């Protein structure tokens, strides 16, 4: 019963959080995000559907819960399930969980890399309110993000309170299914969608192209995309700039791919 209430509360909280940002968001869209039917979502919201371990695991993956959130969720399940799903992380030092959650959040929440990027701009100020104003964030979010970046030693602070990046650049791994990376890309797409409506065309660039290729050419396509991104950054960041921009490139199939051995 406890696990059912925990999952129900989690779903309702996440759904209302999305709705607060996008009132048009529907239960049907939420059910699609979770890979469940609209009827199943209604039953979960109303506490009419029994929560199995398999269902809880699917929800945890689809909502991209960080390690700390997973621990809190599965803590409501029988001890046997906790040992299997958490790999005994409920028995380790809580500082380890915090570090794992920090790493997840830095990759999964867009504003961490945005802050790191902003630090490279001309006139950057090591001031929470200034950063919050530049990125349209609340000072609380910025303060929490800065503390997290310090814990992970991604930024350094001198005696005068001046902040600086500890590394010149950062990059996540390629071609690895990772819930934090998936969460980040979802946020990037949401912000791109918002920019399409709120940023004038002179200050953004949205283009797309449809092309034909075979699955075995994907590694080469990704190689070209990575090279383009690196060359663009090197060209435009040759001198200190005043603003932080996000470049997103998506390549995905429009047709149903049968197999990697399909005919070219």
In a domain, 61, yes or no: yes
* Dihedral-angle region of residue 217 (phi above 0 means left; psi in -120 to 50 means alpha; beta otherwise): alpha
> Residue 95 has what pLDDT?
63
What would the DSSP string read from start to end of 147-199?
HHHHHTTSEEE-TT--EEESSS---PPSS---HHHHHHHHHHHHHHHHHHHHS
Ordered per-residue pLDDT tens for the chain, 264 residues: 677 888 888 888 888 888 877 788 888 888 888 888 888 888 888 888 888 888 888 888 888 787 777 777 887 777 655 554 555 444 445 565 666 777 888 888 999 999 999 999 999 999 999 999 999 999 999 999 999 999 888 999 999 999 999 976 766 666 555 677 878 888 899 899 999 999 999 999 999 999 999 989 998 999 999 999 989 998 998 888 999 999 999 999 988 876 544 443
In a domain, 54, yes or no: yes
In a domain, 53, yes or no: yes
Q: Give the helix/strand (H/E) hosting 123.
A: none
75 secondary structure, DSSP code: T
Nearest to 3 by CA among 52, 68, 48: 52
In a domain, 238, yes or no: no
In a domain, 24, yes or no: yes
- Cα–Cα–Cα angle for 103, 195, 164, nearest 5°? 40
Query: What distance in Å separates the CA atoms of residue 31 and residue 36, rounded to the nearest whole number?
Result: 5
Answer yes or no: are the C-beta atoms of 30 and 41 closer than 8 Å. Answer: yes
Query: What distance in Å separates the CA atoms of residue 67 and residue 108, rounded to the nearest whole number?
Result: 12
Query: What distance in Å separates the CA atoms of residue 184 and residue 191, rounded to the nearest whole number?
Result: 11
Answer yes or no: are the C-beta atoms of 207 and 88 closer than 8 Å. Answer: no
> Residue 170 has what pLDDT?
67
In a domain, 151, yes or no: no
- Domain hosting 18: range is 2-91
> Residue 259 has what pLDDT?
55
What would the DSSP string read from start to end of 125-145?
---HHHHHHHHT--HHHHHHH
> Residue 63 has what pLDDT?
84
In a domain, 29, yes or no: yes
Q: For the chain, what is the domain count?
A: 1
Structure tokens at 31: 């059910």
Query: What distance in Å separates the CA atoms of residue 81 and residue 90, rounded to the nearest whole number?
Result: 12
Query: What distance in Å separates the CA atoms of residue 190 and residue 164, rounded to the nearest whole number?
Result: 28
> Residue 123 has what pLDDT?
92
Identify the CATH number of the domain in which residue 14 sits.
Answer: 1.10.260
In a domain, 133, yes or no: no
């Amino acid at each position: 019963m406890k696990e059912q209430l925990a999952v129900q509360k989690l779903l309702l909280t996440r759904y209302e959080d999305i709705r607060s940002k996008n009132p048009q968001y529907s239960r049907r869209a939420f059910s699609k995000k979770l890979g469940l039917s609209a009827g199943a979502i209604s039953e979960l919201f109303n506490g009419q559907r029994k929560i199995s371990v398999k269902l809880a695991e699917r929800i945890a993956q689809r909502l991209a819960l960080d390690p700390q959130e997973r621990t809190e969720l599965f803590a409501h399940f029988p001890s046997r399930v906790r040992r299997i799903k958490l790999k005994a992380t409920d028995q380790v030092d809580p500082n380890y969980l915090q570090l794992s959650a920090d790493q997840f959040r830095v990759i999964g929440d867009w504003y961490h890399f945005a802050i790191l990027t902003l630090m490279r701009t001309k006139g950057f100020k090591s001031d929470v309110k200034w950063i919050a104003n530049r990125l349209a964030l609340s000072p609380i979010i910025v303060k929490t993000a800065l503390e997290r970046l310090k814990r992970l030693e991604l930024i350094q602070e001198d005696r005068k309170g001046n902040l600086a990046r500890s590394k010149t650049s950062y990059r996540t791994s390629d071609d690895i299914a990772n819930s934090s990376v998936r969460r980040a890309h979802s946020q990037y797409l949401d912000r791109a969608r918002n920019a399409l409506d709120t940023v004038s065309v002179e200050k953004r660039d949205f283009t797309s192209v449809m092309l034909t290729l075979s699955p075995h050419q994907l590694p080469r396509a990704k190689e070209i995309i990575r090279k383009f991104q690196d060359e663009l950054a090197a060209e435009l960041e040759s001198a200190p700039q005043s603003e932080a921009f996000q470049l997103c490139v998506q390549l995905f199939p429009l047709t149903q791919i049968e197999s990697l051995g399909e005919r070219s």
